Amino acid sequence: MPTDAESPSPEEKPSTHLPPRPTAETDLTSILKSKALEETAPWIDNALQQALIYQKTIQDSLDIAIESSKSRFSEIITTSQAHFSQTIVSSLFY
């Protein structure tokens, strides 16, 4: 039989309950509570500006790729037609 010195008291027993895991919402809430909204607004504005810059860059790159592909395919078609015509003419006369 254990004595009082051998058995841990309820305060000393390890807790089987884990603290609640923080979520993004609670993290954001704690940030907003710890800082004034004026202090966090520049960070949000900067993130929004960067996202808009990325969006514009991607759109411009896509537009350029489409235009250059159209131009290149047009050149291929023109060259193919000329080669085909030359092949027909040369096969008729030789």
Q: Which residues contact 44 (CB under 8 A, 6 or more apart)?
A: none
Instruction: Say whether pTM exceeds 0.75.
Output: no
Question: What's the 3-state SS for 34-83?
Answer: HCCHHHHHHHHHHHHHHHHHHHHHHHHHHHHHHHHHHHHHHHHHHHHHHH
Q: Highest mean pLDDT range out of 4-8, 15-19, 32-36, 52-56?
A: 52-56
Q: What is the pLDDT of residues 44-71, one digit of tens each?
A: 888 889 999 999 999 999 999 999 999 8
Q: Mean pLDDT, the chain, as a whole number?
A: 75
Task: Work out the average pLDDT over 10-15.
Answer: 54
What tokens appear for 77 in the block? 């078609």
What tokens appear for 81 in the block? 């037609």
Q: What's the burial of 40, exposed, middle or buried (CB within 10 Å: 0-12/13-18/19+)?
A: middle
